[in-house]
Structure 1
């Protein structure tokens, strides 16, 4: 139980319940990351402490935005090794989670995690964000779309905002320096039906890591022409 107290403290600081059952799921998840990372490139962070602080606790910090605690469903765009979607699911078992990623090898890994951790009401989608938000069963159907992907806010907004229902939120997990990125994205966020509501600063326990949650509220429908076709979003970002 080496890291239990650290994770328990991180959860308590966000008003979350943590117990041995959840802790054991996180440890199994960590072991699966380390095992699969020898076969496919999931993360450059492979040591126990790094995974727990930089992936697990960093993902848990999304709960600082209180709306998430009562959200019915969430889609994690470009989820990679499952961040923040799987930690969200472990902490809040009642929320429905969809994990979307474009690389099939990662989807196979995520399905293994879901199976081994016996997680319920969570599923994966193999595909591009631009394609699935055009489908009626996904478009504007989620209380929250989130992403911890490395793309800038302008690009991420076009990927994520079409999935969010009106009154819901897009939450981007970003690093410490985002002011310029936010300024550049403001027009695009408005065009896509959103409004920047808040930037929540978060700190990772027992580390110098400081990150931000960028909170965008969906206030009107995303116009039908968005997202644009695959490749265009990143090559010609909205102005």
Structure 2
């Protein structure tokens, strides 16, 4: 089947990302595996090729509007689900060493198949809840970048994601729309967990009228050892 990658190429041009023909082929393979596995397990409600190009692939790569990804070496995708944004980032920026964290083994089985079929190297999957993974020495404050496209409120996401980031690194939260209210609400959490808001980047996604927001939080000091709290607490009782 012939796939038209024009929308992804246009997005990459906007983000100043250059894709080789091999990388373009990897995105196509990823799409094929996503739709194939989606028939037997719930990975995504978005399956049309052009929609996946825009709402999953281009959206994942939009972090380049807020960060110089060439300066990032290690990245953890917290609650990666079907691999967004972690796998598109690994395809587009092969130098990245990527960890995909998720609490469902069946999703990790899918991701391991993608990694194998696409021939990706220096990328691993880790099974566990965000709160538990951040207590393990091999993951706590070990990453230049922690990312999440999860729908949780920012105050909760900060507690899930910031313990993974080393001092000097960043946590980037992908939001579907302007998150000013969430930012105000999360002000205390950001500070308590060792962060400082660096910038908020708002834009229209890839020739659509969909507004996107990148919240870039710099890690300026170590996260206190008591965080993250036990599983479920950051959502039920966010730091406010």
TM-score range, shorter chain: over 0.9
Provide structure 1 residue ranges, at least 5 long, that are not aligned to the other structure: none
Please give the alpha-carbon distance, in whole angstroms, between the structure 2 residues aligned to 1:128 and 1:205.
32
Partner of 1:63: 64
Deviates more, 1:9-18 or 1:76-85: 9-18
Deviates more, 1:200-209 or 1:95-104: 200-209
- The alignment status of 1:25 with 2:19, answered yes or no, reads no
Deviations 1:105-161 (A, max 9, x none): 100000000001010000000101101111111111000000001111011000000
TM-superposed CA distance for 1:69, in Å, is 2.4
- The alignment status of 1:238 with 2:239, answered yes or no, reads yes
Please give the alpha-carbon distance, in whole angstroms, between the structure 2 residues aligned to 1:134 and 1:36.
32
Deviations 1:5-45 (A, max 9, x none): 22222112111111221111101101111111111111111
Partner of 1:81: 82
Partner of 2:172: 171
Normalising by structure 2, what TM-score?
Answer: 0.97
Deviates more, 1:172-181 or 1:119-128: 172-181
Please give the alpha-carbon distance, in whole angstroms, between the structure 2 residues aligned to 1:25 and 1:234.
35
Partner of 2:46: 45
Name the SS of the counterpart of 2:68 in structure 1.
Answer: helix
Please give the alpha-carbon distance, in whole angstroms, between the structure 2 residues aligned to 1:149 and 1:16.
24
TM-superposed CA distance for 1:207, in Å, is 1.6
Provide structure 2 residue ranges, at least 5 long, that are not aligned to the other structure: none
Equivalent pair of 1:61/1:202 in contact (CA under 8 Å)? no
Aligned CA-pair RMSD: 1.1
Partner of 2:122: 121
Please give the alpha-carbon distance, in whole angstroms, between the structure 2 residues aligned to 1:153 and 1:229.
18
Please give the alpha-carbon distance, in whole angstroms, between the structure 2 residues aligned to 1:39 and 1:63.
33
Equivalent pair of 2:75/2:147 in contact (CA under 8 Å)? yes
TM-superposed CA distance for 1:2, in Å, is 4.0
Normalising by structure 1, what TM-score?
Answer: 0.97
- Runs of 4 or more, structure 1, over 4 Å off, are none
Please give the alpha-carbon distance, in whole angstroms, between the structure 2 residues aligned to 1:62 and 1:177.
15
Equivalent pair of 1:60/1:84 in contact (CA under 8 Å)? yes
- How many residue pairs align between the two structures? 239
Deviations 1:42-74 (A, max 9, x none): 111111111111000000111112332221100
